[in-house]
């Protein structure tokens, strides 16, 4: 797949979503900060994962993006599903994707206003210090972060009294809880990956690829959004059936990418309209 196909897809998505932009993590201060903060739990956030915020799609680097046009087309198509869902569902998509961890934000705000800002400042400084010194030693990092959290709650008990319960609730929200909505949204995104593989090759996705996708759902990369491996595997099985039955290629937003690839001569005759 050539760079020209990638540019053509960029043009198509810009017509579909005028606010769409391709950006690069290694050129973004925001992404570098997020990569640092997330490094204990997703060490490859900056180098292997593409992140979409609103309609801005952050690839690892310009070199990676332009040097791997086939992978970039597939990834951009995946992110297009998220942009489409964001456009259709709006705030419901944004809040549900980030839930339940997002509910820590209002609780932290309440604690800061009515309790004390010092425990949160201590927590932030402690987190940054631990990550900066132990980021390559996951077990040690988690142990020290746990100790930092306990110390923060102890300080809060002294400075804010019973408001500490609000802080405890906020920290509890940040745990690796099952995220049903995020699982659903990401299943729609990875359905695009599965479909493109099958459309182009007229073959089933290799088992090792499917299992890698499953690990994304059940592991730390998406913060353990679904620990039920059987459920995740059933979601992919449903996608494969829908693709084989030629139903997925007729549904939005998958139909847009199917039509694009067909015009580029990149769809197997078995999956042509």
Span 164-210, pLDDT tens digits: 999 999 999 999 999 999 999 999 999 999 999 999 999 999 999 99
Judgement on whether residues 189 and 225 belong to the same structural domain of the protein: yes
- Does a structural domain hold residue 273? no
Do 271 and 247 contact (CB within 8 A), yes or no? Answer: no
Judgement on whether residues 132 and 194 belong to the same structural domain of the protein: no
- Does a structural domain hold residue 150? yes
Under the banding of pLDDT at 50, 70 and 90, the label for residue 217 is very high
Judgement on whether residues 229 and 148 belong to the same structural domain of the protein: no
Q: Are strands 56-59 and 21-24 parallel, antiparallel or unpaired?
A: parallel
Judgement on whether residues 117 and 80 belong to the same structural domain of the protein: no
- Does a structural domain hold residue 253? yes
β partners of residue 21: 56
Domain count, the chain: 2
The per-residue pLDDT of the chain, averaged, comes to 94
Sequence length of the chain is 273
What average pLDDT does the segment 42-59 reach?
92
Neighbours of 229 (CB within 10 A): 13
What average pLDDT does the segment 116-123 reach?
92
Judgement on whether residues 18 and 76 belong to the same structural domain of the protein: yes
Lowest mean pLDDT across 43-52, 61-70, 136-145 = 136-145
Judgement on whether residues 209 and 154 belong to the same structural domain of the protein: no
Q: Give the alpha-carbon dihedral of 222, 228, 231, 236, to 10 degrees.
A: 40
Judgement on whether residues 20 and 64 belong to the same structural domain of the protein: yes
Judgement on whether residues 45 and 114 belong to the same structural domain of the protein: no
- Does a structural domain hold residue 94? yes
With 70 as the cut, is the pLDDT of residue 239 above it?
Answer: yes
Among the candidates 173, 190, 224, a domain finishes at: 173
Residues 135-176: tens digit of each pLDDT: 667 778 888 888 999 999 999 999 999 999 999 999 999 999
Judgement on whether residues 93 and 125 belong to the same structural domain of the protein: no
Judgement on whether residues 121 and 244 belong to the same structural domain of the protein: no
pLDDT at residue 135, as a whole number: 67
Judgement on whether residues 85 and 197 belong to the same structural domain of the protein: yes
pLDDT at residue 98, as a whole number: 95
Judgement on whether residues 81 and 16 belong to the same structural domain of the protein: yes
Q: Which domain holds residue 162?
A: 101-173
């Amino acid at each position: 797949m050539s760079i020209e196909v990638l540019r053509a897809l960029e043009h198509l998505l810009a017509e579909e979503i005028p606010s769409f932009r391709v950006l690069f993590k290694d050129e973004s201060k925001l992404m570098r900060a997020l990569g640092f903060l997330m490094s204990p739990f997703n060490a490859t956030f900056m180098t292997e994962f593409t992140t979409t915020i609103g309609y801005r799609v952050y690839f690892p680097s310009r070199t990676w993006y332009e040097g791997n046009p086939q992978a970039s087309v597939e990834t951009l198509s995946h992110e297009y599903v998220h942009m489409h869902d964001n456009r259709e569902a709006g705030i419901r998509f944004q809040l549900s994707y980030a839930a339940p961890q997002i509910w820590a934000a209002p609780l932290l705000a309440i604690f800061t206003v009515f309790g004390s800002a010092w425990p949160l400042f201590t927590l932030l400084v402690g987190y940054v210090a631990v990550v900066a010194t132990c980021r390559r030693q996951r077990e040690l990092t988690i142990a020290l972060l746990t100790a930092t959290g306990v110390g923060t709650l102890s300080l809060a008990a002294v400075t804010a009294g019973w408001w500490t319960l609000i802080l405890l609730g906020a920290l509890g929200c940040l745990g690796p809880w099952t995220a049903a909505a995020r699982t659903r949204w990401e299943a729609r995104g990875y359905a695009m990956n599965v479909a493109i593989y099958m459309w182009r090759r007229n073959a089933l996705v290799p088992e090792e690829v499917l299992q890698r996708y499953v690990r994304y759902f059940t592991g730390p990369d998406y913060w353990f959004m679904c620990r039920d491996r059987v459920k995740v595997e059933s979601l992919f099985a449903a996608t494969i059936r829908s693709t084989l039955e030629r139903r997925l290629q007729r549904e939005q937003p998958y139909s847009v990418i199917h039509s694009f690839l067909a015009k580029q001569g990149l769809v197997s005759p078995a999956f042509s309209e």
